[in-house]
Structure 1
Amino acid sequence: MSVKTYQKLAATLEQQIRRGELKPMSRLPSERELAKTHEVSRTTVREALMALEAGGLLQIKDRSGAYVQPVVDAQSGFLSKLEKQPGPHEVLQMRRLIEGESCFLAALNGSEAALREIAEANAANAAVPPNDTPEFHEGTRRFHMSIAKASENSLFHDLLDFLWEQKSGPLWENWYGTTRSRKNRITVIANNQEVTDAILARRPQAARTSMQRHIDWMISRFLSY
């Protein structure tokens, strides 16, 4: 898998940090400045900074910015590990496309049995205690996979299964560690209920839009700090 743009930017900034061009405890330029300097999008900048934070080279402070950490605390070779997987933004973009359409088809063509399975998966996930991370994660996966199954297109199911497997590694683990909260889980449950209601009501366009809105929220949550 080719090196992603955010990985190239992360490597460039890592070199500047290790050479001392960016001093320990100094604040990096704003993401807008970095995007302009390196001629990339702000999304690319955010992913690069998150990768460097996961590697111990930066600390991102909410509403303050990214600060250089001492190199002795950094992991060596961490960027090479990221090259084996698609970037988080890529994964979420593809999920938006695939899951929006699977919701549309589930509402349009899903059997009554398949729709009951969606409703049951949604209810089971909503019943998981907020602090039970593994069970909540697995319940959420079951819910999304039940929609893909109801679309009656096996490729949706297989592609989503692949994309779900990409939600691992240092960037995802770091993100989950910093954004996991009761408030966010309540939002996930509410979004899932909106999707479920649209599918059960056989409203294909509303189902598609609800899922796309949920993934947009995920993207915003992932790439904000």
Structure 2
Amino acid sequence: MARQSLVSMVADSILNRIVSGDIPPEGTLPGELELTAEHEVSRMTVREAVKTLEAQGVVRIERGRGTYVNPLKRWTSMEAVLRAASEGENEAAASVQLIELRRMLETGAAELAATRISAEELDGLRGYVAEMSAAHAIDDVRRFVEADLAFHGLILQASGNVFVSLVFEPLSNVLTARRAQTSRVEQIRANAIHEHVQVMGALASGDPELARLAMGSHMSQTMNDLKTYILHIQ
């Protein structure tokens, strides 16, 4: 196996242990010799794997003391953070922070879209809300999630800012997984439909401030629902 492949394999294995909570934040990585024996690779390969994680902000090397796992907020790798958001002990914190990111980006996108959205795009939003309502009535979670995601995707498109959609693209898989989880709860679906109707009305008004506030309200409801029905925290 090529050297770089081995380095990636070892780094990925260590990251798995961190994401799963086997090595918690501020916990120390096993020593170099232990990792070498565990993965049956050279010490140089282990060092490079650890340096890879250090470059991603996942761990920090303290000379003479050891290698420590950083808190999630210090990670700088999108891939690593998304894995933490999808599985393991960091899931709750990452889920909350994902909604915080959505609030920052989507309120701005709605503000822009209010003065740029076309009549055809507004019709598209109405269609997606109708699809969400129909799916909710028959408890079709997959169909509900697809319409929900399409609604938000259309607003990003209507903002007219290509960078907004590009920022969201890496998040698509984890957003789909999150929506599939939360949308199993009937009350969350009902709340989402209500908030989408408010956002749609604000966009139709052409008022940027009203659109920003409506999307902010939607994100607040999303956060409250996540904490109440999924994470069970106040």
TM-score, normalised by the number of residues in structure 2: 0.55
CA gap 1:111/1:167 in 2 versus in 1, 3 angstroms? closer
- The runs of at least 4 aligned residues of structure 1 exceeding 3 Å deviation read 6-13
- Number of residue pairs matched by the alignment: 155
Determine the structure 2 residue equivalent to 1:151. 159
- Over 3 Å counting, the alpha-carbon distance change for 1:176 and 1:194 in structure 2 is same
Distance in structure 2 (CA, Å) of the matches to 1:118 and 1:168: 19
- Tell me how far apart the structure 1 counterparts of residues 106 and 151 of structure 2 sit (CA, whole Å): 12
CA distance in 2, matches of 1:148, 1:213: 17
Indicate whether 1:127 and 2:152 are aligned.
Answer: no
CA shift in 2, pair 1:109/1:10, >3 Å: farther
Partner SS state of residue 110, structure 1 = coil
Deviation, structure 1 residue 9:
8.3
Higher relative contact order (CA closer than 8 Å, sequence separation 6+): 1
The aligned amino acid for 1:216 is S
Q: State whether residues 114 and 149 of structure 1, in contact with CA within 8 Å, keep that contact through their aligned partners in structure 2.
A: no
- How far has the Cα of 1:198 moved from its partner? 0.6
**Match for 2:227: what amino acid?**
L
Kept in 1: contact 2:191–2:221 (CA 8 A): no
Give 1:139 shift: 0.7
Identity, % of aligned positions: 21
Are 1:188 and 2:205 an aligned pair? no
Change (3 A) 1:133 1:188: same
**Matching of residues 171-182 of structure 1 within 5 Å:** 172=178, 176=181, 180-182=184-186
Over 3 Å counting, the alpha-carbon distance change for 1:10 and 1:206 in structure 2 is farther
Residue by residue over 1:136-195, the C-alpha shift from the partner in whole angstroms, topping out at 9 and shown as x without a partner, is 0111001110111111111222223332322366xx49x927x73222211110000000
Offset of residue 91 of structure 1: 1.3
Provide the residue aligned with 1:213 in structure 2: 217
Q: Residue 209 of structure 1 aligns to which amino acid in structure 2?
A: L
Q: CA deviation at 1:11?
A: 4.9
TM-score with structure 1 length normalisation? 0.57
Q: How does 1:29-68 map to 2 (within 5 A)?
A: none
For 2:220 and 2:20, the matched residues in 1 are separated by 25
Q: Which has the larger radius of gyration?
A: 2
Q: Show structure 2 runs of 5+ residues with no match.
A: 1-11, 28-70, 72-83
CA spacing shift, 1:162–1:117, aligned 2, 3 Å: same
In structure 2, the residue matched to 1:91 is 98
Is 1:136 aligned to 2:141, yes or no?
Answer: no
The one-letter code sitting in structure 2 at the alignment partner of 1:196 is M
In 2: Cα distance, 1:115 partner to 1:10 partner: 48
Name 1:105's counterpart in structure 2: 112
Q: What is the Cα deviation at residue 92 of structure 1?
A: 0.9
Q: Distance in 2 between matches of 1:12 and 1:124?
A: 42
In structure 2, relative to structure 1, the CA distance for the partners of 1:209 and 1:9 (3 Å cut) is farther
Alignment-derived partner of residue 115 in structure 1: 122
